[in-house]
A = this chain, B = another copy of it.
Amino acid sequence: MKRAELTEKLLDMKREKGWTWKYICETIGGHSEVLVVGAILGQMKLTKPLAAKAAELFGLSAVETAMLNEVPMRGEGITMPPRDPLIYRFYELVMINGPAWKALIEEEFGDGIMSAIDFDMVMERLPNPKGDRVKITMSGKFLPYKYYGATGNNAEYGFREE
């Protein structure tokens, strides 16, 4: 069984039952909605207790439940550059603003990256008389580039100066 086939099955059940994502997320619980929806869509792993709840909700077999508890091959089945307009707009933001973000983060934090792994994100609706807005708040741990020393694989794992 491929993860994409499991996704297809889960979505068909969602259609058949008329469930909303909100209902699914509340029933499975535990994690943020982005993570639970991501797992249903085949990009995230559900922990064992949550996979069990999902199995109950969707009536899954043992193999299917185990698959939901596996880390999927992330990024599979996704078109890049995105073609769907909603997703493309995020891609465009990264493309156009990436260099400026890099300049500002490096000036503030030094050489390193914002982690996409130790990363948190909340999406909210922001009412606005000119048209409601999508508000996204995210934070990722800054990971400084390690400047390891000439002596090699030492206990310190590098040091950092400016």
* A residues at B contact (CB < 8 Å): 1-2, 8, 12, 15-16, 18, 20-22, 25, 29-35, 37-38, 41, 43-45, 47-49, 62-63, 66-67, 70-71, 73-76, 78-109, 111-123, 125-126, 128, 130-150, 152-153, 157-158, 160-162
Contact = CB atoms under 8 A, between A and B. Distances in A.
Contacts of A15: 62-63, 66-67, 70
Contact of A101 (B12, B18, B123, B145): B123
A93 to B, nearest CB: 5
B83 A95 contact: yes
A31 B148 contact: yes
Given A43-B97, A147-B31, A126 B139 contact: yes
Contact of A95 (B8, B78, B102): B78
A131 B141 contact: yes
B138 A100 contact: no
Contact of A21 (B63, B90, B104, B133): B104
